[in-house]
Amino acid sequence: MLPKRVMGLLVIFNICFLLLIYRLSQIQLFDPKAFSKHHINLLEESVKQRTQELVIDNGRGNFLDRNGAMLTYKKVNVLVLFPFLKKIDWDVNKVSTITGIPENKLKESVDHAEKPFAYGEPEPFEMTASQMERINALKIPGVFAIERKFERSQIPAEQLIGLTGENAKEVNKRYPNKKLSDNTLIGVSGLEESFDEFLLPDGKSKLVYHVDGDGAPLFGMNVKYVDPANPFYPVNVRTTLNKNLQQKAEELVDKYHIKNGGLVLLNIEDNSVLTLVSRPAIIKTDPYNNYGITNRMLKQQIIGSVFKTVVAAAAIDHQLDDPTRLFDCSKKLNGKPEVQFNYGMLNFTDSFARSCNRTFGELAKELQQNDPHVLEDYAAKLSLIGSVGWQGNIYHTSNFKQFADEDKGRVFMSDQARKDANYVMMSGIGQHEVRATPLAVANMMATIARGGKKEMVRAVSKIEYKNGTTMMDFPEKSLAGDSISPYTAMRLQKLLRRVVLNPDGTGKWFQNLPFDVAGKSGTAETGKYEKGKQLYNKWFAGYFPFQNPKYALVAVQLDVFENEGAVHSLFADIVKLLYEQTRGNE
């Protein structure tokens, strides 16, 4: 019989042996694709040690514009060269003749290569279809002509589309039941984040070859094409953006040096986003610096006199728009003489056209005396406050939101403010606690142009499978809640048009545009100062053509001095751009 000490050692040895067996089984059999808390794919890692590869498509879903043009990526016909070419005698002369690339450049690029590459990266040499066909007909090992997907250096509507990144902790938090590697790309902002679950890769398409320790071919020079072979993935998210229009709008925003602000352009017919520009722009090397990642068009801002549209709607319905009544526009809200904007005595219509503060401060006070919630009710009726972006139940997600980071806007923050006459008068001209997003302001104009019909704003119309069939639609949807009457909408339409037609109106700059414009200006005090001077938010919001509305447009410049601002020029140039585009399509 063995001594107890020996028995004990044998037991310990057996336990250790069993643990080792279990560990090896775990590595080899149970969790080879998601090993440890970091979900490391051991199969992939082992393959990496003995292969070299070139990723053709990372497998993440794509964003398209409304016409099918790719937004986030581009596909380029490229010349792919493998590093083992330096170890063999290959027909560089024929490749040079077909591509036009000098022989010495081709050889030099291969000599410096440690892994497969597309010639010319990061700006790859682009080949024609004919060149591709002739290159592949040569059948030179390690020389291929393929179509490869590249991320664009400049992405249109980048804050709306959003950014992606690698974050192992967030991957495991979002998708605890999915076996994803730690370096899986996920959306971190914008539509990339909202639609992330649909965009996750099913696998990568790549060219692979096996190497020995010195990088030489291990099993000859056979290069394999690896593809998930799934006809449905990656999906395409079809946005409502117009890529060409978006790029031209961004050029105009930058032309007028709008460093903080931007524009929103809606297609009134289906209430979708045609273009959206937000500044400051994203700095790719440091996206969280300078707030560039923030979509300013979805964040609440002080809107100033644009809010007088809400007060006007409430005044019309409460019979406070008597055309014979005159308001003393030679006085400020506090009753003191108005020096800078002394308009004398004005009626309701001219007060709106010239944006008289005294008129709409008094009207707001009269309205609130009867109902402390009347301004908020009419702001909601005009879709100015509350979420306006598309939301609903889809797939297995309830209350899905296309604009996940959209602010809701507000009129008052407390009962005290609702009942304080001074605060109410300030609110009547869009100051004090009044806030709204540029997206909501654009939607208010679209609502008025449609005769009072409120609709959700879409930035995505559908998700398509890889083979082009529809996976999911995002149909037009009405916004819940009360709306203004067709009569009130018609009255507001005339008021907004008068802003432009009145020789002294705040929109007189738009009288000679190719489309008839209706709209409202806004100059809001921000309470911020720079170099001892007050900063303002400058707005113009409107729609056109007036008789047959197609577009709702908001241009806004934030935190500028009183004598600065380019929103009128920006608004006018967008109108001209759309007119030229319309003529070009006829």
Query: Of 58, 49, 107, 48, which Cα lies nearest the Cα of 83?
Result: 107
Hey, which of 52-66, 210-224, 399-413 has the most confident mean pLDDT? 399-413
pLDDT attached to residue 6: 62
Identify whether 349 is part of a domain.
yes
Domain, as residue range, for 384: 300-526
| Region for residue 438 given its phi and psi (left: phi exceeds 0; alpha: psi -120 to 50; beta: otherwise) | alpha
In this prediction, residue 192 carries a pLDDT of 96
Of 101, 116, 151, at which residue does a domain stop?
151
**Residue found under tokens 């449905």:** 232
Which one is predicted more confidently, 16 or 333? 333
Mean pLDDT of 552-571: 96
What pLDDT, in 10s, does the model give residues 106-152? 999 999 998 899 998 888 999 999 999 999 999 998 899 999 998 88
Q: Could you tell me if residue 33 is left (phi over 0), alpha (psi between -120 and 50 degrees) or otherwise beta?
A: alpha
Integer CA distances (angstroms), 434 to 100, 308, 472, in order: 63, 11, 37
What DSSP string runs through 233-289? -S-EEEES--HHHHHHHHHHHHHTT--SEEEEEEETTTTEEEEEEEESPP-TTSTTG
Q: Which of 9-23, 80-94, 492-506 has the highest mean pLDDT?
A: 492-506
pLDDT at 398: 82
CB–CB of 168/149 below 8 Å?
A: no
Asked if residue 471 is part of any domain, the answer here is yes
**Residue 233 lies inside a defined structural domain of this protein:** no
Please check whether residue 342 lies inside any domain of the structure: yes
| Element housing 188 (H / E) | none
Q: How far apart are CA 408 and CA 510, in angstroms?
A: 30
| 504 falls within a domain | yes
Whole-angstrom distance, CA of residue 368 vs CA of residue 49: 73
Residue 93 lies in a domain: yes
- The set of residues, in sequence order, having a beta carbon less than 8 Å from that of 93 and lying 6+ positions away, is 103
> What whole-number distance in Å separates Cα of residue 318 and Cα of residue 484?
12
Burial 291-300 (b: 16+ CB within 10 A, else e): ebbbbbbbbb
For the ranges 4-8, 164-168, 338-342, the lowest mean pLDDT is seen at: 4-8
Cα gap 200→187, rounded to integer Å = 9
How does residue 337 score in pLDDT terms, banded at 50, 70 and 90? very high
Q: Which residues are catalytic?
A: 305
Q: How far apart are CA 446 and CA 437, in angstroms?
A: 14
So what's the pLDDT on residue 23?
64
Q: Across residues 205-226, what is the average pLDDT?
A: 65
354-397 pLDDT tens trace: 999 999 999 999 999 989 999 999 999 999 999 999 999 887 77
Residue 346: CATH number of its domain: 3.40.710.10
Backbone angles phi, psi at 3, to 5 degrees: -60, 155
pLDDT bracket for residue 27 (50, 70, 90): low
From 130, 151, 172, the end of a domain falls on 151
- Last residue of a domain, which of 116, 151, 186? 151
Kindly state the percentage of the chain with pLDDT values over 90: 69
Q: Please, which pLDDT band fits residue 570 given cuts at 50, 70 and 90?
A: very high
Answer yes or no: are the C-beta atoms of 362 and 327 closer than 8 Å: yes
- In this prediction, residue 551 carries a pLDDT of 98
Residue 582 lies in a domain: no
The domain spanning residue 135 has which CATH number? Answer: 3.90.1310.10
Query: For the chain, what is the largest distance between any 2 Cα atoms, rounded to a whole number of angstroms?
Result: 119
Q: Return d(Cα 247, Cα 254) in angstroms, integer.
A: 11
Q: In angstroms, rounded to a whole number, what is the distance separating the alpha carbons of residues 155 and 293? A: 13
Contact 68, 238 (CB under 8 A): yes
pLDDT at site 5 = 67
Tokens of 510: 């738009």
Please give the structure tokens belonging to residue 52.
């070299």
157 lies in some domain: no
Question: Which phi-psi region, left, alpha or beta, contains residue 512 (left: φ > 0; alpha: ψ -120 to 50)?
Answer: alpha
Q: Is the pLDDT of residue 81 over 90?
A: yes
> Residue 239's closest CA among 194, 279, 204?
194
> Rounded CA gap, 302 and 282, in Å?
23
- pLDDT of the residue at 219: 43
pLDDT score of 150: 87
DSSP string, 13-45: HHHHHHHHHHHHHIIIIISTTSBTTTTB-HHHH
The reported pLDDT for the residue numbered 177 is: 86
Q: What is the pTM of this model?
A: 0.88
Alpha-carbon separation of residue 396 from 63, 279, 314, 393, 579 (angstroms): 22, 35, 41, 8, 42
The pLDDT score that the predictor gives to residue 133 is: 95
What average pLDDT does range 197-204 have in this prediction? 87
Task: For residues 80-86, give the mean pLDDT.
Answer: 89
Which of 221-230, 297-306, 386-395 has maximum average pLDDT?
297-306
| Closest C-alpha among 232, 284, 280 to residue 259 | 280
**Position 446 confidence tier, pLDDT thresholds 50, 70, 90:** very high
Segment 16-32 shows an average pLDDT of 61
pLDDT band at residue 157 using 50, 70 and 90 as cut-offs: very high
| Separation of alpha carbons 87 and 440, rounded Å | 63
* Residue 66, pLDDT above cutoff 50: yes
How many domains does the chain fold into? 2
| 256 has pLDDT over 90 | yes
Given a cut of 50, is residue 481 above it in pLDDT? Answer: yes
Residue 49: pLDDT over 80: no
